[in-house]
Structures are given as structure tokens and as C-alpha cells.
Amino acid sequence: MAETRLIAIEEHFVSPALRPFRRAPDSPRERKLADMGEGRLREMDEAGIGIQVLSENNPAAQNFDPKTAPDMARASNDFLYEAIRARPDRFAGFAALPTANPKAAADELERTVTKLGFKGAMIMGTTRGRFLDGREFWPIFERAAALDVPVYLHPCPVLEPVNEAYFKDCPPLGGAALGYTIETLTHSFRLIMSGLFDKYPSLKIIVGHLGEAAPYLLWRTEENLKPFGLNMPKSFGDYYRQHFWLTTSGAFSNAALACAIAEMGIARILYAVDWPYIENQDGTDWLNQLPLSAHDRDLIAAGNAKRLLKL
């Protein structure tokens, strides 16, 4: 693995403009999120990571009101651009988008891609309680397809009524242990059901954590949709396999990876760590021990990201 510069594509930061809205106390993790220089680079070097594709951490810019959100997104993206410009050999970026204002979000995506060189966008789950399958959000996906850049669909906390019903009596499961998976898996599958990919057949979506269990569930989901007679032009599984790419972020499981490769193919799997929530070295150690050929390991480590993100 020493010859391959790892490209990790779900690696977070927090910009000065958005940091106050996290309402997070000072901690080593918060200091890592704010570090765009020496400390971040040192940890990358120690784990053999050549490039991080950076994204603003939750809550990002999408849950501000429609008038405020565009300015907050622009501030975040301009900050990220300066960090990339300082170290273009080590950093690339996904845009934060003001999805509460879909027209402004589409325009900000175009600005960051065409003028700042960003590689796509990361959207942090629902927008003010609404899933992105709603047609009011489709201008964002239309612009992403036109620009030929992916949208990375990231988890957010489940909606409060879901949290109340499912996790009130078991809070530890409400976040990354299970709740985030329920939120993002539902979000992903709703995009397919909405007809979005028929309207924009070149649209590319990235999902972390090896698809939030989607590869394991595709057959069952497709089978149990048949009685509804949905008359979709493609099978449910084909939509997923043709429009989604999965990353390893925070999902360092040999069995889960084997399932993802079996369903998606090796070309649809990309490396990510989910730093600083997961340690870089943990991801590197796991990647190094995978029972894969050198060719397939290199595709996950960097080759697939180079192709998809035009790095």
C-alpha cells in the first residue's frame, strides 16, 4: 500500500462562520474540525492519506432559513476554497449548499464547481424536515447532472417524531448506531421512488457507510415493491446500482464490504474514513488487511475516486 496515495472523501471540517451554530463545547474533536493545517496534515501523513476531500460538518448550511442560507453556504465554501488553495496537493472540496433555497443552492453548486474547482456537493440529510425527493429540490440535482458532479448524501438526525417513537427509551441507538442509517437509507430509497433518476439519467449520488445497509436490502426491497405495480422503467435495484456510489466511511467491516462489492461492483466503492469521528489509522489498517487483489485495493484506495471526482 505504500505506493498508493489514499484519497479519503468523507472528511470533515467546520468553518468559522458556521462553528457557532454547532453548539458544541470545546473538545479535541472540535479542535480537529477547525484545523485546516498542521495537525490535520500530520494525521493524514501518519496514515498514508494523500488527499482529503473536505466537507462542512453538520449542520452545514441547509437548515437556515431560505434568505440566510445562501450567505452562510458562500462563507463556508469560500473558507474551504482558501484552505484548498493553500494546499491543492492535499485537499479538495465538496460544496455546502443552501438547500432551503433550491435556486440559490443550484447556483452555489455551479459557482463552486466552475469557479472554485470543487468536486461536487455534500448534503447533510433532510432540509428543515423535508426529504430531497420533493420536486422543489430537483433544480439542485438538475444542475449537478448538467455539471457532471456527484451529490454526496450524508446522514442527519432522524426527524423528531421518529426519534420519539423509536429511540426515546433507547437514546444510544438514535444517532450513528442506527438512527443515521434509517434516515439516510430512507432518503436514498425515496430518491429512487420519486422518479428523479428518470428525469436526470446521468445523476450521480454518493452514500457513505457502505450504503447504510442498502446493498444488503436491495433484493428484499425490490421484491416487496412488486405488488404495488409501480411501473418504473428500471428495477429498483438497477436504479441503485446505476446511480449510486458507496464509500467505506465509518464502516470498516469485511463482510459489509463483500456484500457491497457483490451488489455494486468494485468500481462503485470509494475509500473514506469519516475523520475526525473515526481515526485515519483505523481506516488504513483495515484497508491494508482486506482480502482483495492489489488491483481492487488500489481502485478503492484512490482509483475510483480519481475517476468519479476527476482528481
Instruction: Just list the catalytic residues.
Output: 274
Placement of cell 492519506 in the chain: 49
Is residue 240 within 8 A of residue 193, CB to CB? The reply is no
Find the Cα–Cα–Cα–Cα dihedral 30, 7, 157, 183, rounded to 10°. Answer: -170
**196 exposure class (CB count in 10 Å sphere: 0-12, 13-18, 19+):** buried
What separation in angstroms does the CA of 220 have from each of 157, 179, 224?
A: 25, 20, 6
Angstrom distance (rounded) from CA 173 to CA 261: 27
Is residue 311 within 8 A of residue 7, CB to CB? The reply is yes
Tell me the β-bridge partners of 180.
none
| Phi/psi of residue 184, nearest 5 degrees | -75, -35
Angstrom distance (rounded) from CA 276 to CA 142: 32
121-124 β-sheet, strand order: 121-124, 151-154, 205-207, 244-247, 269-270
Is residue 153 within 8 A of residue 188, CB to CB? The reply is yes
3-state SS class at 215: helix
Is residue 42 within 8 A of residue 70, CB to CB? The reply is no
CA torsion through residues 262, 233, 209, 224, sign = negative
